[in-house]
Amino acid sequence: MSLKREAAWVVRSARRAARPAVSMAAVGRGGVDPDGVGYAPHHTSTVKRWEEAASDLTYWNVRRYEFLLGLPHGQLTCAVDHLARWRQPVRQQAVLRPPEARPVAETLELLEKALSTERMTGADWDLLTDDLGRMPHPLVRDRDWEAMLRRLVAECVVNLDVEYLLRDEAAARLAGHPRSGQIVARFVRSVIDDPGSQFFNDTLTLLQFTDEPQALGILAEQLREPANDHALRACLFALTTLARGRRLPPQYLRDVVPSALRLVRDTSLPYRVQRGAANVIRSVASDVGVQLATALSLEDQRAAASILLSGRAVDRDTLARMKRGVRAHMDAGVADTWDEPELQLLVDTALGSTDEHDRGMALSVLMLVPQGHWVGRAQAQQLREALAADDDVAALETLAVLSWLVQSEDAPLLVDLALDPTRPAALAAEAATVLGNITDRDAGQAVDADRRLALGIFTALRGIPDDTRRLGARTGATPDAVLRVHGFAYALGMRGRFDLMAGIRNSPLLTDHEYGAELAGILDYWLDLPEHIRPPAGEP
């Protein structure tokens, strides 16, 4: 399937799902957007050719759809960028850009803004990183380049939806620039060495965009002696992407495979670490994977065996049942798009694949197109069924999808799951994290949930009875209290409830806790966020 066809599907789906309805004739009529950009009239037959991939879509064609459909700036162009990155992880430029060159003065203005304490928008980052990506040797000091990257990653943590994905794409461009290798390695090293670091995934996965020897050295080190489970999972993600792109040196592969074999067989590790190790083996040694899958099946590690054989943690029947659930939820506005191959590929990958890169790109696109809403509704039902069956692995896989596609209607379910003391800490923390990704919650319900989560932190500090079903419980594992508080703090931080976190931070329950330093570090991360990065303060 070509990118040209997929881009045509993006704009076609957006128009057909628009409410009120927007015809091809209306798209052709054009108009003038609030920025004063004019869109010249085009015959309906021209619009039809755009939507059928019979002619190329330009940047301004796609922006026309965003304007006429009332979509945020960059929503559809960002979907096309992520479809392109799915095929080509290392790419420094946007796929679609205006043919006219941007003045250097505008690039410099954005660069100065990025290095200041002014707020940046996702559109700002999109333009700046594309401009820099088109320069083979941008005249920017290394420390300024690193400062931009650090700020961009920090903003990825606290933004959602289109604003998050524009920054996600911008960070990938910046990290994949030829001059970024050593800078990325230095940035990642500082995060690993800082005991106060909270979010490893957004930083360590930048290693997938460079084959700089220093960066590869960090991956090798973390594979042997990881800083924590989060760092290990992120490194396995990066290794899989590098291996699939044939960017790992042969001598490096000799060390990777034995380490991944050890990890995939270690049942004391969290499921997502085992999943990442299985993906690495499947990418670099498929013959070994087939043999190992047989042994794992005999050892009742069916999920890992399925990943090694097919790249999926669920069997075909389960995947088919989940897809029927999505189809049943789709409304009349998008129901007739179900059989389109572009959508089928996205849904198959989002629900079935365990490869973090593929799944992330599919979920990114679904977040930006109308069908994503219905995938999210179906996955919420899937989560209820997994919880009723006490299937923690299925619940974690479903929450991984909902972290991208969660809807406001799911908030009560997630609050109850996060605060359920009988559930494993990893599951409760993940539910709280997904809750933090809801952008349009009912104000009254959100305030009540904030208070319940704050009380949940105090409960975690007082101690929740050990759960024999805890996922990944072992010597050296992240303590339950730390897992729960990390998730709850994320949900409160994304709502801007710094008032509640400040009260918890000063509580003797925290300062006198066995893991008081780690718990304080979690809250301090949010309380110390610079004003130009932190989410707006929530309603008390």
Q: Cite the DSSP H helix spans in 134-285.
A: 142-158, 161-175, 181-193, 201-204, 213-224, 229-244, 250-265, 271-284
- Specify the DSSP element, H or E, that contains 32: strand 31-32
CATH T-level fold of 3-71: 434 Repressor (Amino-terminal Domain) (1.10.260)
Q: How far apart are CA 335 and CA 339, in angstroms?
A: 9
Which residue bears the tokens 């005991």? 195
Give the model's pLDDT for residue 466. 45
Q: How far apart are CA 237 and CA 360, in angstroms?
A: 11
Give the model's pLDDT for residue 294. 55
pLDDT mean across residues, the chain = 88
Cβ atoms of 399 and 383 closer than 8 Å: yes
Q: How far apart are CA 245 and CA 224, in angstroms?
A: 23
pLDDT in tens, 77-104: 999 999 999 999 999 999 998 887 789 9
Give the chain's end-to-end CA distance (angstroms, integer).
50
CATH T-level fold of 179-311: Leucine-rich Repeat Variant (1.25.10)
- Find the Cα–Cα–Cα–Cα dihedral 336, 339, 344, 348, rounded to 10°: 100
Give the model's pLDDT for residue 339. 86
Question: How far, CA to CA in Å, does 449 sit from each of 54, 82, 377, 416?
Answer: 50, 33, 20, 9
* Residues paired with 39 in a beta bridge: 31
pLDDT bucket at 440, cuts 50 / 70 / 90? confident
Q: Tell me the mean pLDDT in the region 182-200.
A: 91
Give the model's pLDDT for residue 472. 42
Q: How far apart are CA 132 and CA 111, in angstroms?
A: 9
pLDDT in tens, 202-239: 899 999 999 999 999 999 999 989 988 889 999 999 99
pLDDT in tens, 517-531: 999 999 999 999 999
Determine if the peptide bond prior to 103 is cis (ω within 30°): no
* Residues paired with 31 in a beta bridge: 39
Tell me the backbone φ, ψ of residue 121, rounded to 5 degrees: -100, 165
Cβ atoms of 401 and 351 closer than 8 Å: yes
Q: How far apart are CA 469 and CA 427, in angstroms?
A: 11
pLDDT bucket at 442, cuts 50 / 70 / 90? confident
- Specify the DSSP element, H or E, that contains 39: strand 38-39
Which residue bears the tokens 């997994």? 386
pLDDT in tens, 122-174: 999 999 999 999 988 888 999 999 999 999 999 999 999 999 999 999 999 99
Contacts within 8 Å (CB) and 24+ apart, 116-121: 117/530, 117/531, 117/532, 118/532, 119/532, 120/151, 120/155, 120/532, 121/163, 121/166
Residue 475 has pLDDT above 50, yes or no: no
Q: How far apart are CA 383 and CA 377, in angstroms?
A: 10
Q: How far apart are CA 307 and CA 303, in angstroms?
A: 6
For the chain, domain boundaries? 3-71, 179-311, 317-528
Residue type, 60: W
pLDDT in tens, 414-424: 999 999 999 99
Residue 348 has pLDDT above 90, yes or no: yes
Give the model's pLDDT for residue 298. 44
Share of the chain above pLDDT 90, in %: 60
Q: Tell me the mean pLDDT in the region 432-454.
A: 86
Q: How far apart are CA 110 and CA 424, in angstroms?
A: 45
